[in-house]
Amino acid sequence: MKARQPDSWHETHRVSYANIWRTRASRVTTDGVDAKLAIYPATIVQARYNGAYEGVPWLCFPLHPRWLLEPDWREWDGDEIACEAFWRRTREQQERFSLIGRGDSPTAAYDDLIDQACARVGVDRAALTEEPA
């Protein structure tokens, strides 16, 4: 019998007041059964200065939108000095701020966040999206 992968993982996020939940949901379609990974909560936004400091035009934060107003996160959307300082701090403190998805589209940013979250807990994303046992 095939070993079953877990259906959800929980990780406390050090900066936010929430937890990150990664889940695998089975879907039945006309093509068969597959699985889709999801992260909750997740907030997708456009980068403040067209990606000048972030490197990409879309971002996905593992937070509820209201937490983006908290002091630890607010500067990503601030003036140029604050925004540059936020992303510099993000690069310097990767353990604390590394779970921010980045991409050329909203979907790419969300997928990047899922990839980062899976890598952080040592989970093979490809194995999770295979047909459930």
What pLDDT is recorded for position 41?
84
Domain locations along the chain: 8-121
Torsions phi, psi for 31 (to 5 deg): -90, -5
81-119 pLDDT, tens per residue?
Answer: 999 999 998 888 776 666 899 999 999 999 998 888 888
34-89 pLDDT, tens per residue?
Answer: 566 778 788 999 998 988 998 999 999 988 888 888 887 889 898 999 999 999 98
7-39 pLDDT, tens per residue?
Answer: 455 444 443 334 455 555 555 556 655 566 778
- pTM (two decimals): 0.72
Q: Is 128 helix (H, G, I), strand (E, B) or coil?
A: helix
